[in-house]
Structure 1
């Protein structure tokens, strides 16, 4: 899950609108593009869901502009209020000031990631500077902050629970954004914020274009030997969608290694695919992201220095569970020490295996690793991914797996709503009911890849749960699965199965939220906690009762045979060091850039060398185990909100493993355990200290790092 890291664009993850009618009083109507704009009128759909049947691409820009003006007026009313500042007339009023903008931007920014057409891209280019200007206006509004500070200084001691937490979050948000800086430093901070927003927008356009451009064209079907007929058909379909430069096209996905390398017998084609992936955005010309990277890195470092920190990592980590760079590195070094000897042993074993068929002179290359590792796994376990794919029909995984686990653990049920419009025909919508049959939420899924969608998988919301706003959550998941040709079932790999469970874990964090304020609800938690519910939800994919319920042959409906199931489950942790190593390498690249003072940030031409040296210094420079994301296409860091935060995937995996142990001991599908987890963790959002939230359920005072190595079979 990716987050946007500016305060105004918290609307991407804190969106909501129970009823927009009252809010529209602040919008001067009629104006061109505003009168009768469906984004600015109350939706009659369930929970006021966005009515995509009447929303047009041209509606977003005027609606966003109107919503920006609405928030400006709401902020002015707070500032001009002659009454003494109070929690109600200042803090709650501020929380509600962006409600219309929350609603409109949540819908719009969904499309910038999932269906970025030319019109949406043009709108984004125009609106980002305006949102940044609004953010700066609010952040550095001295009169507004003086009212907030007045309440913080005088009322905090008397407030309790979520009221105090809301006050704390708003006050600290302003302070971290520079509200206490001198006038000249505030002015510079405004410039930095604006430029970073512009650069991230450029990144968001360049990287998908670069990834699409990196696709590998194939002239002859013989070169695709090793692929299944379904995969070859997909390559033909992808070629047609991209203009037909050749009969077949291998699309590059977001990570460095490409799953298709597991099957390609043609070594030169494997090399071409790997190099296309690795160098998609570091070449010359239109698709070199390094100039963006180094400028963002400098600006972030300068921002941190303005705020009194040595580097961006220290600034960024201040409000996480980890707290400091030293704590993050201590955590990482524990894992690196355990990882390195196992990784070296894995590489030797794969090369030795390959030499049995290729000769003693064979030298394993990174583009060979997946291919020979898969053959080695097949020889050891008599198992291949294609053996199990027929048992992972996407519809069965969703309904009989993901939904079934949520029903057994939390009492939820799901009803498809084909009457609710979506922004793309491939999407599906489900109404979610609580254990007492009460309507609880809407959940959308957009699973299939297309050229207008960025890579990866994520969760966000059209509307967040809020008791204050009387609004129900409207949550969505986006993935990038290859859609089968018409008339054929879409079959998933095991990795794709776990991705579906993972992203639905994020969705549950939003669906089961039970908080008073929009700003605190659902996934509005620190980065090194937000991935825990999703990583934990992967646990259910292998719970025997759940697995046997969804893993059924797409043609016969028969469950996966026990011997095949046993082989697959044993093979999950085959050579586990690689997956850990690619994650550690990406994490350490992220930290290395974030630890730099502004004066030490390398030039664009030095960026690749800086990466190599950073990995060498920490002991992770290994051509056989490249970073999961190289710096030039590390969207989490340069396009999203995970700068100095990618470690959180490993950190939260530890939390998730600790929680899975609790479930395993008390009953994986025991509804009492599920309800306990729901009550103490999933429903709480950011309403209390997150370490305490973790402790409340597990009983552990600190996370047990050894659980990760055990869970990964290491």
Structure 2
């Protein structure tokens, strides 16, 4: 019954919170555009009419309505049945889902001061409602009666919905005795408060970690376009110096690849690594420790040894032992390759810097890039002109979806958005019928958190007669007015990745909202997105979008072959930073309440964990350090960050099936659509995988090969 939005790829923001008074102006349901049908296709939100001040009264009214709906179910005098209990519960909260789906889209992508203040007010309201529903004894008695008496007789999605609803209530603590149930309520409230506070502090910490640069000479190595971006970023952030380097959400910063000034590289790396660990202005460790303790306590109340055991029970992996077994084999195979890679980069740097030169983490990207350029006679400046973001989207991402699934995309400039940078597309199915709306919001701004993600303004549901209204958000630097926005290969892959999530929502064909779209286990939901990345390098698709932004000519064959061959150059780093972050996440959630370190000990705990599992490497730090690991402390990936690697295995297996049967064969795409993308959580996810691939279980043997290792 969780009402807050769980986003798929979590990052950081650059936004300073302010205290704002929110006028409510007495608006009622008849006046509030959020509570009315918009008149737009699929009842998409009409942002031309919605004001920031509309959200609070709309959510308050929707909460009131949802309470009335729950009371009606509970007070029904008739014997509990699927129809009057499970189905009635599924039909409840439609208005609240509608309003909060739009609201939480803005809290991540366009958090104005009014939206930020509203979030502070509605978070405890929604947590209270969630507790009321999850711990409603009479409601659960009715659900349990249906589960005990009718479950075996039910079929299809009715049966799956009953199972999911019942188990969700049980996992929330519905079977706990009164005293433990009360404590669980308190834990839920406090975690919600802490995550709200985390969400306020981390963006501010990242914004404050900006590295100011006084002269253009210090930016030696950057292209003129990148220098212009640093100037633009400085102007938009107060102009304390002529230029600035903005810190992005991950530990390593892509700009270190080309920055000649070693001292500046160090400043950027240190600003990133220490943005929120207390060595600067901000310290998130107190939030980390308290959230970890509360999660451990909640797991103990439910009878589990630790939170990881509790959380993983509902995933494909099932247990921490299974996850660690998977990770330890990867670590074993990865370690010698990482060591060899580091030695090679350091030896290369010593050729110009002297035999005593010691490679530092802020040097790695710089010298690796030079080695790559030397090995392949290739530079980013040669490649980027072929990756115009508009062409990548329309001639790459959309073209692949057309070839694989028969979808076409019609831009709808008449549909309002919450920001002028956004675009809206009507998605049309192969039969010519409108299927969905898709919004893209690709450029960074101060009101948007970092990273890239997919979510929905409305999920698909046959029962609700609702077609999907889906969006993708990214954080690319927008080119100056009149110039094309050029992106890197990694950013190209991100567009394909996030659109893979979007397709999971767009192609959903489920009866129930609870089961539709991306409502799957964490260690399955990243599979469609990671698989969709494989389309980016298929020759027919690549050649269709990778055209020079000025001449319109396709990338020359020699350059294309060099670029695609070089993709996995020095690939150990990417795997290592992911493994390190994954093991940190698991380590925090394998602890009992009394084993959680203090805030002052948190940094030391991180080092200890990485040393013990064989991943402590100053050259390859975690992709996210504990103090800014938003997936885990602010998002929905607690004890679940391993899912990126786990689902990469699934994606490699699926890609192999596509390749064998024809990567762009419409019959294969339709089969994948029918058996996976359209099915949401209507079946166990392992069964969906088996249904499409014909394999009895995932095969991890191809992962390292796919990564070039």
TM band (smaller chain): over 0.9
Deviation by residue 1:305-354 (Cα, 9 ceiling, x = unmatched)? 00000000000000000000000000000100000000000000000000
Q: Does 1:116 align with 2:111?
A: yes
Decide which of 624, 640, 650 is 2:645's aligned counterpart: 650
In structure 2, the residue matched to 1:170 is 165
CA contact (8 A) 1:513 1:682 kept: yes
Aligned residue for 2:439, secondary structure, equals strand
In structure 2, the residue matched to 1:683 is 678
Q: Does 1:509 align with 2:504?
A: yes
In structure 2, the residue matched to 1:22 is none
Deviation by residue 1:224-258 (Cα, 9 ceiling, x = unmatched)? 00000100010011001101010001000000000
In structure 2, the residue matched to 1:47 is 42
In structure 1, the residue matched to 2:134 is 139
In 1, the alpha carbon distance for the partners of 2:86 and 2:6 equals 17
CA contact (8 A) 1:33 1:59 kept: no
CA contact (8 A) 1:264 1:371 kept: yes
CA contact (8 A) 1:12 1:461 kept: no
Aligned residue for 1:287, secondary structure, equals coil
Q: Does 1:74 align with 2:69?
A: yes
Decide which of 362, 368, 371 is 2:363's aligned counterpart: 368
In structure 2, the residue matched to 1:448 is 443
Deviation by residue 1:6-32 (Cα, 9 ceiling, x = unmatched)? 72326889xxxxxxxxxxxxxxx9954
User: Structure 1 length normalisation: TM-score?
Assistant: 0.96
Q: Does 1:238 align with 2:233?
A: yes
Decide which of 296, 309, 322 is 2:304's aligned counterpart: 309
In structure 2, the residue matched to 1:396 is 391
Aligned residue for 1:441, secondary structure, equals strand
CA contact (8 A) 2:74 2:139 kept: yes
Decide which of 418, 427, 440 is 1:423's aligned counterpart: 418
Q: Does 1:357 align with 2:352?
A: yes
In structure 2, the residue matched to 1:329 is 324
In structure 2, the residue matched to 1:615 is 610
- CA RMSD for the aligned pairs? 1.2
Aligned residue for 1:461, secondary structure, equals strand
CA apart distance, 1:42: 1.1
Map 1:107-506 → 2, pairs under 5 A: 107-283=102-278, 287-506=282-501
In structure 1, the residue matched to 2:689 is 694
Aligned residue for 1:505, secondary structure, equals helix
CA contact (8 A) 2:306 2:592 kept: yes
Deviation by residue 1:580-619 (Cα, 9 ceiling, x = unmatched)? 0000000000000010001000000000000000000000
In 1, the alpha carbon distance for the partners of 2:449 and 2:156 equals 39
Aligned residue for 2:616, secondary structure, equals coil
User: Structure 2 length normalisation: TM-score?
Assistant: 0.97
Decide which of 564, 569, 585 is 2:564's aligned counterpart: 569
In 2, the alpha carbon distance for the partners of 1:634 and 1:559 equals 39
Map 1:667-682 → 2, pairs under 5 A: 667-682=662-677
In structure 1, the residue matched to 2:21 is none
Q: After alignment, is 608-617 or 698-707 more displaced?
A: 698-707
In 1, the alpha carbon distance for the partners of 2:202 and 2:114 equals 18
In 1, the alpha carbon distance for the partners of 2:219 and 2:64 equals 55
In 1, the alpha carbon distance for the partners of 2:464 and 2:288 equals 39
- Structure 2: runs of 5+ lacking an equivalent: 9-23
CA apart distance, 1:93: 0.8
Aligned residues: 694
In 2, the alpha carbon distance for the partners of 1:46 and 1:35 equals 21
Decide which of 535, 544, 557 is 1:540's aligned counterpart: 535
Q: Does 1:64 align with 2:59?
A: yes
In 1, the alpha carbon distance for the partners of 2:26 and 2:468 equals 31
Aligned residue for 2:35, secondary structure, equals coil
CA contact (8 A) 2:527 2:647 kept: yes
- Structure 1: runs of 5+ lacking an equivalent: 1-5, 14-28
In 2, the alpha carbon distance for the partners of 1:146 and 1:446 equals 44
CA apart distance, 1:387: 1.0
CA contact (8 A) 1:521 1:684 kept: yes
In 2, the alpha carbon distance for the partners of 1:710 and 1:349 equals 20
In 2, the alpha carbon distance for the partners of 1:94 and 1:332 equals 39
CA contact (8 A) 2:274 2:280 kept: no
CA apart distance, 1:385: 1.6
In 2, the alpha carbon distance for the partners of 1:417 and 1:437 equals 16
In 2, the alpha carbon distance for the partners of 1:449 and 1:267 equals 27
In structure 2, the residue matched to 1:584 is 579
In 2, the alpha carbon distance for the partners of 1:711 and 1:206 equals 38
Q: After alignment, is 241-250 or 277-286 more displaced?
A: 277-286
Deviation by residue 1:37-83 (Cα, 9 ceiling, x = unmatched)? 00011110000000000000000000011111110000000011111
Aligned residue for 1:476, secondary structure, equals strand
CA apart distance, 1:389: 0.2
Runs (4+) of structure 1 moved beyond 4 Å?
10-13
Q: Does 1:595 align with 2:615?
A: no
CA contact (8 A) 1:11 1:105 kept: no
In 2, the alpha carbon distance for the partners of 1:708 and 1:67 equals 46
In 1, the alpha carbon distance for the partners of 2:484 and 2:359 equals 36
In 1, the alpha carbon distance for the partners of 2:5 and 2:34 equals 19
In structure 1, the residue matched to 2:31 is 36
In structure 1, the residue matched to 2:18 is none
CA contact (8 A) 1:256 1:630 kept: yes
In 1, the alpha carbon distance for the partners of 2:675 and 2:124 equals 40
In 2, the alpha carbon distance for the partners of 1:545 and 1:576 equals 25
CA contact (8 A) 2:5 2:104 kept: no
